Structure 1
Amino acid sequence: MSTKNHVLLLPGKLAYLKALRPRQWTKNLIVFAAPLFAFSINLQSLLGSLLAFALFCGASSSFYLINDLVDIEADRQHPVKSQRPIASGLVSIPVAIGMAVLLLGSALTLSWLRTPQLGASITAYALLQVAYNLRLKRMVILDIGAIATGFVLRAFGGAAATGVVLSSWFLLCTAMLALFLGIEKRKAELRLTQLKGSTPRSVLQRYSLPMLNSMENVVTSSTIVTYALWSSGPYMRGASTSWMLLTIPFLLYGIFRYQLLSEPQEISLNSDTNIEQGGSSERPEEVLLKDVPILLTVIGWVLTCFTILWLKHQSLID
């Protein structure tokens, strides 16, 4: 095969990967949270978390393919979405259907073979995606709840794959943070439609910035208080050591930085070059990949947790 032909075929090959939207896979990293919160870090938990991550990536990508198939005609009329692999014709409809069926079928089968709990979590996630795309994404407030539930199911799946028993604190922290992300996503989407002067989709017509700001204030406060109580340690039946209080600054900075990225001036600075660009908090996966302060905050939080875990394991701290 000539070099020229290889170069011409490469974009087509990459189109199959792009159709899976690998950038979105960062959302599934939450499967690693359960063993980390439980201070259960070992080879077995790592392998279990990696399996859960792979299965949720497969399940989520199958629905991205299905959504692109359903919206193919509308996407072809869109100046940016028309470049997506399925809409542009780089990935044929039969191949996309086959990929979706294979990915979802494999994720469901392998998850049930691993443990019933993991199988139930991925099955529930799949049913949630069906409900969300058919109805919930057009229902005000419930749409945000559905987004948050998706994150909670991922976290539950990570715990099921590693045999970690979830605490009520972990579920509360995960749920509050997931609600926060969902509200920020809708806030950025609404502001972006206002800047573009375009007609918002049906669910955004029911929201207003004052309403979303009020929801944001309640959930932000709840997230911080819940995490602070958990990190207080055994006295609150939370973390196994109160040294986890040292991680609170990372949470505070991460939340406030994320809020900054959905502010009007931030969206205005980013909304001129591309129709799909705007407030970075509209896409949590792109914040983690592109915003250096957020990325460093996550790395700092993980390293601090690992350090505290190691010191406790060495009996150097209580």
Structure 2
Amino acid sequence: MDLSDLRMFRTIVEEGSVTRAAERLHTVQSNVTTRLRLLEEDLGTPLFDRINRRLVITPAGTLLVGYAERLLSLADEARDAVRRADLPEGLLRLGSMETTAAARLPSVIAAFRRAHPRVELRLHTAPTASLVQEVLAHQLDAALVSGPVVHPELESQPVVVEEVVLISAADWATIDNAADLARRGPVELFTFREGCSYRQRLFDWLRRDGIPIARSSEFGTFEAILGCVAAGMGVSLVPRTVIGAHLNEADPGRATLRVHPVPPDLAFSTTVMIWHRARSHQPARQAFADCLAEQLGDPMEHTTQ
């Protein structure tokens, strides 16, 4: 017994006649008669009584009708679900660096939710190293991290190129190079937790150029970092996009932060979207990637913003 047998049986019940059922199924009467006989033999019981050349459904046939309706309905539901599998819907677990989530994602997420209301987007922020591990463990469907990310189990695509700057309180003198920073004596750093790419870049730079570090403090939000730096407590390395309001370009006298140049090898950072290679086909993730491209444009367009 298969679905085609059940569909044929249901048609006979609805039409009340093998002849009319054959016409509806676009086949010959003998074919329907043979398949019905084989179905009854398979089940070991008659489904219809033949009375005066009429078919009268038996109690077993009546019982089978209920099962047939449920099975055929479930099959139709499964077919529709599979056909919709190429449509963006369901849960999308997205990870992001805190800075990217704050500076780049609000407009993207708003546009994505308008375009794809059937997708439930859950956003989780963490440092790059943690996000990479969560994608590898299939705890996230995709993540926006600092690139490049090279791993045999991961795919990636560039999202945006960020200008990276050193920031201090607004009343600090301009720091043009490592020597200027070193002359201020041991410097205090304010960064995200270990695993943040900006934190690692800052430490690598200062150690490479022999700039003494007094201490470092770690925070979970960039607002806390900017607040400590604005208070004159130390410096940090951040994407320029997260500090716009603190620079107050319309009225520089009210600025709370000052931006300083960094070595060319640190001046730009590429944010990439990563996902597990084993999950190559995920319509919701692809739809979000397309929305990122539509909202943010060519990654290289942001190198001077």
Scaled by the length of structure 1, what TM-score is found?
Answer: 0.20
Larger radius of gyration: 2
Structure (1/2) with the larger strand percentage: 2
Scaled by the length of structure 2, what TM-score is found?
Answer: 0.21
Structure (1/2) with the larger helix percentage: 1
